[in-house]
């Protein structure tokens, strides 16, 4: 459809032929310079902007179209026809544990990543020597440049053997804590390992957004705190953190969105299962939506594909809500912040 | 007040006695301060550890098989623990698919950025800005499903070809291009636009000949970084383009291999069961290939980032930006 076609490159030949015939100048802002090729170019640019919105709607529409056969079919018939659902009683019953696994992994990742990210953001904004700060920030951005499949490979072949004794120790000594209960996996291909890799992957975005807001703290607030005799940490606690709180929250939500949708790390590390289980040291307990799609999609029949797309639609809806909320917080605080 | 930023600007020359007194009273506060400083430094170190570990393992494990043979051969006819097979078909696929994705995203992204900077006012511009940000958060697997659904609706189910992957990647790439281009276009000083307009140059020529030309280095950098961002995407290509062992140059027909999917595929095949007396059988061959493929991928990503930085350094306008 038109969403995938690129508009023609802006060139004199392409644009002048689009020139409207009559002088329809109903827009109040239209100046004498806004005619001919200029007007065509303006419409071209505006069209591209509108295309972004259309694209986002198209994503939702096409997913719904392809997911509809699975969504609209009665549960018992669907369970009978789709091999994926052999252990479930309905589509909802199938998606439920997947959503649970996705959210659990992302939440754990967030718990690991946020404190570290805040630390790094403070390090680059208030602790590191001014001249080094941007270089150190660049080092953190390199974490984002590593492809996800490489993280998956690293997590499965390097990290898992390293953390296995730690997980075994946790299971043995802190096993009364529900999260660490169960039978510890000998390969450490478990949700806790996944969560650590996810945390590393979402670190850059949380750090970048937090650093931005920390740097926006009004200079005068900081100096006032210091002038009252605050130590550097007290200054940060009294001036920087309260000012940056909403920014950090939205940064964390952006990270959450990333973690929810991350496929490869989960797919390559986790040994999957379809339970509502909090045992994050046990193999074969949870699975995430994205990893499940990637694992099942190549072998699925048309109705199975439809089912998987329905689960993808659920993922899309969840991440969309998280992202819209995060961006709304960022956008709202933009109006109040700065040097106004 | 003691060793803090010089901007604090308090006159500290006098009264060492008072300062000593303050310090004595505030021992606990200083301990907390020192402790938090330690934590903040620790956080940074914590983040660097995985980065170094990833870089080190990829290089040390990948370098063994990373040679001319690996780069110029495909996996056709390679089976079991054979000491053979390469990544050429995956490089071909990755380059073609990513270039086509760039071909789709760059015009759309650039024009959107031009709209936002040069023309955008009111409700539409505000919602475009907002939803571009939201779009950066679309999970890559959803982009893949979208591309699959789009082609399945028009061409029937089960379509697997390179161009579907390009469409999926462009969904992920467009917002990145918009963001970076917008930033660069905003750096162009208004005086340049006004001067050109005052000379009677039509608006669209001002945009093309003055604004774009001034910002070209930054735009190229941004586009290369966005290419580097999507070139490592695995999940959308896995479900739209599929896997294949031989070389396919045709973007519009048949499955293609791509580097990230190649790495995943090799990893997924796991250890090869070798008979103990079997010559020419390497049990870990698939993992070795996966690491070498990962090294190839990381080298490409780093190369793109490096070239992007060099472009900014050497082609940026001299007086600003």
Q: Is 70 exceeded by the pLDDT of residue A307? A: yes
C-alpha angle B168/B299/B84, rounded to 5°?
A: 90
The secondary structure of residue A185, as a DSSP letter, is P
Q: Is 60 exceeded by the pLDDT of residue B2? A: no
CATH 1.10.1040.10 is the classification of domain B68-315 = no
Closest CB to B138 among A6, A124, A319: A319
Chain A / chain B CB contacts < 8 angstroms: 319
Instruction: Name the helix (H) or strand (E) containing A332.
Output: helix A302-336
Chain A interface, best mutation among B11, B141, B143, by max A CB count within 10 A: B141
Q: What is the mean pLDDT of residues B203-219?
A: 88
Q: Do A231 and B137 touch (CB under 8 A)?
A: no
| B232 close contact with A: CB closer than 8 A | yes
Quick: pLDDT tens for B101-156: 999 999 999 999 999 988 878 888 888 888 888 888 889 999 999 999 998 888 87
Domain A78-336, CATH number (from 3.10.580.10, 2.60.40.1180, 3.40.50.720, 1.10.3720.10): 1.10.3720.10
- Domain parsing of chain A, residue ranges: 2-72, 78-336
Q: Is 70 exceeded by the pLDDT of residue A18? A: no
Cβ neighbours of residue A20 under 8 Å, at least 6 residues apart? A39, A40
Give the number of other CB atoms < 10 A from CB of residue A220: 10
**C-alpha–C-alpha distance, residues B273 and B58, integer Å:** 24
Chain A neighbours among B 270-289 (CB < 8 Å)? 287
Chain B neighbours among A 187-226 (CB < 8 Å)? 200, 203, 207, 219, 222-223, 226
Six token digits for residue A123: 């390090």
Q: Is B301:B231 a contact under the CB 8 Å cutoff?
A: yes
Q: Do B141 and A312 touch (CB under 8 A)?
A: yes
3 state SS of B63 = coil
Q: Do A147 and B233 touch (CB under 8 A)?
A: yes
Instruction: Name the closest residue on chain B to residue A230, using Cα atoms.
Output: B1
The confidence band for A134, taking pLDDT boundaries of 50, 70 and 90, is confident
The residue behind tokens 């991440």 is A319
Quick: pLDDT tens for B225-274: 899 889 988 999 988 888 888 888 888 888 888 999 999 988 988 888 87
| A20 close contact with B: CB closer than 8 A | no
What A186-189 contacts at long range (C-beta under 8 Å, 24+ apart), as own/partner pairs, is A187/A160, A187/A271, A187/A283, A188/A160, A188/A161, A188/A163, A188/A164, A189/A156, A189/A160, A189/A269, A189/A270, A189/A271, A189/A283
The residue behind tokens 């993280």 is A151
- Domain parsing of chain B, residue ranges: 6-62, 68-315
Q: What is the mean pLDDT of residues A35-43?
A: 83
The residue behind tokens 């694209």 is A55
pLDDT of residue A16: 41
Q: Is 70 exceeded by the pLDDT of residue A19? A: no
**C-alpha–C-alpha distance, residues B97 and B95, integer Å:** 6
Instruction: Name the closest residue on chain B to residue A312, using Cα atoms.
Output: B142
Please give, rounded to a whole number of angstroms, the shortest distance from the CA of B96 to a CA of chain A.
17
Chain A interface, best mutation among B33, B54, B213, by max A CB count within 10 A: B54
Q: Do B32 and A38 touch (CB under 8 A)?
A: no
Chain B neighbours among A 97-136 (CB < 8 Å)? 115-120, 122-124, 127-128, 136
Closest CB to B140 among A263, A323, A324: A263
pLDDT of residue A33: 57
Chain B neighbours among A 35-54 (CB < 8 Å)? 36-38, 40-42, 44-53
Instruction: Name the closest residue on chain B to residue A147, using Cα atoms.
Output: B232
Six token digits for residue A302: 């048309």
Chain B interface, best mutation among A29, A44, A45, by max B CB count within 10 A: A45
**Distance between the two ends of chain A, CA-based, in angstroms?**
45
Q: What is the mean pLDDT of residues A172-193?
A: 84
| B26 close contact with A: CB closer than 8 A | yes
Chain A neighbours among B 48-107 (CB < 8 Å)? 48, 50-51, 53-54, 57-58, 103-104, 107
Six token digits for residue A337: 């912040």
Q: Do B204 and A268 touch (CB under 8 A)?
A: no
Q: Is 60 exceeded by the pLDDT of residue A13? A: no
Q: What is the mean pLDDT of residues A236-247?
A: 87
Quick: pLDDT tens for B156-191: 777 788 899 999 999 999 999 998 899 888 888 889
**C-alpha–C-alpha distance, residues A78 and A89, integer Å:** 9
Quick: pLDDT tens for B37-82: 999 999 989 888 999 999 999 999 988 888 888 888 888 877 777 7
Q: Do A147 and B170 touch (CB under 8 A)?
A: no
Please give, rounded to a whole number of angstroms, the shortest distance from the CA of B240 to a CA of chain A.
9
Q: Is A276:A265 a contact under the CB 8 Å cutoff?
A: no
| B122 close contact with A: CB closer than 8 A | no
Q: Do B157 and A302 touch (CB under 8 A)?
A: yes
Closest CB to A293 among B54, B233, B239: B239
Q: Do B140 and A62 touch (CB under 8 A)?
A: no
């Amino acid at each position: 459809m038109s969403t995938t076609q690129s508009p023609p490159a802006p060139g004199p030949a392409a644009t002048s032929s689009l020139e409207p015939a009559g002088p329809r100048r109903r827009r109040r802002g239209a100046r004498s310079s806004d005619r001919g090729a200029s007007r065509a170019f303006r419409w071209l640019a505006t069209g591209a902007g509108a295309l972004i919105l259309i694209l986002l709607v198209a994503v939702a529409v096409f997913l719904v179209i392809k997911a509809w056969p699975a969504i609209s079919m009665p549960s018992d018939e669907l369970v009978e026809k789709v091999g994926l659902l052999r252990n479930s009683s309905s589509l909802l019953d199938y998606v439920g544990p997947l959503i649970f696994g996705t959210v659990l992994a992302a939440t754990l990742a967030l718990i690991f990543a946020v404190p570290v990210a805040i630390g790094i953001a403070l390090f680059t904004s208030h602790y590191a020597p001014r001249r080094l700060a941007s270089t150190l920030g660049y080092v953190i951005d390199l974490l984002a440049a590593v492809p996800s499949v490489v993280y998956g490979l690293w997590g499965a072949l390097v990290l898992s053997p390293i953390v296995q004794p730690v997980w075994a120790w946790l299971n043995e000594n802190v096993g009364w804590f529900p999260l660490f209960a169960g039978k510890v996996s000998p390969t450490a291909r478990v949700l806790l390992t996944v969560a650590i890799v996810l945390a590393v992957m979402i670190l850059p975005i949380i750090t970048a957004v937090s650093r931005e807001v920390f740097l926006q703290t009004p200079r005068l607030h900081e100096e006032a705190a210091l002038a009252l005799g605050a130590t550097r940490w007290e200054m940060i606690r009294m001036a920087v953190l309260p000012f940056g709180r909403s920014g950090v929250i939205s940064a964390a939500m952006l990270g959450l969105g990333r973690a929810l949708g991350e496929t490869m790390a989960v797919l390559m590390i986790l040994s999957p299962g379809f339970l509502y289980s909090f045992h994050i040291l046990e193999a074969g307990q949870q699975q995430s939506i994205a990893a499940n799609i990637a694992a099942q999609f190549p072998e699925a029949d048309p109705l199975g594909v439809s089912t998987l797309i329905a689960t993808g639609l659920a993922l899309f809806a969840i991440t969309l809500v998280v992202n819209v909320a995060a961006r709304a917080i960022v956008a709202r605080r933009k109006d109040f912040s700065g040097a106004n | 007040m003691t060793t803090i930023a010089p901007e604090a600007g308090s006159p500290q020359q006098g009264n060492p006695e008072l300062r000593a007194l303050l310090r004595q009273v505030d021992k606990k506060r200083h301990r907390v301060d020192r402790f938090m400083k330690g934590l903040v430094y620790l956080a940074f170190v914590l983040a660097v550890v995985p980065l170094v570990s990833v870089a080190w393992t990829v290089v040390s494990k990948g370098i063994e098989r990373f040679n001319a043979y690996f780069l110029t051969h495909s996996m056709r006819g390679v089976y079991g623990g054979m000491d053979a097979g390469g990544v050429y078909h995956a490089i071909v696929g990755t380059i073609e698919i990513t270039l086509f994705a760039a071909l789709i995203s760059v015009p759309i992204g650039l024009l959107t950025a031009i709209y936002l900077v040069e023309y955008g006012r009111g409700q539409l511009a505000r919602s475009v800005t907002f939803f571009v940000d939201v779009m950066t958060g679309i999970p890559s697997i959803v982009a893949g499903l979208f591309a699959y659904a789009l082609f399945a609706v028009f061409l029937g189910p089960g379509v697997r070809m390179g161009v579907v992957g390009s469409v999926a990647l462009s969904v992920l790439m467009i917002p990145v291009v918009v963001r970076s281009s917008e930033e660069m276009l905003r750096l162009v000083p208004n005086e340049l636009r006004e001067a050109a307009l005052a000379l009677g140059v039509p608006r669209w020529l001002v945009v093309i000949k003055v604004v774009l030309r001034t910002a070209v280095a930054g735009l190229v950098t941004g586009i290369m970084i966005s290419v580097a961002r999507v070139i490592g995407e695995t999940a959308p290509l896995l479900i739209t383009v599929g896997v294949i062992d031989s070389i396919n140059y045709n973007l519009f027909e048949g499955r293609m291999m791509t580097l990230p999917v190649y790495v995943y595929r090799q990893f997924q095949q796991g250890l090869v069961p070798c008979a103990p007396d079997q010559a020419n059988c390497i049990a870990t061959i698939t993992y070795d290939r996966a690491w070498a493929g990962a090294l190839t991928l990381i080298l490409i990503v780093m190369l793109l980032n490096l070239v992007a930085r060099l472009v900014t350094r050497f082609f940026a306008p001299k007086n600003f930006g």
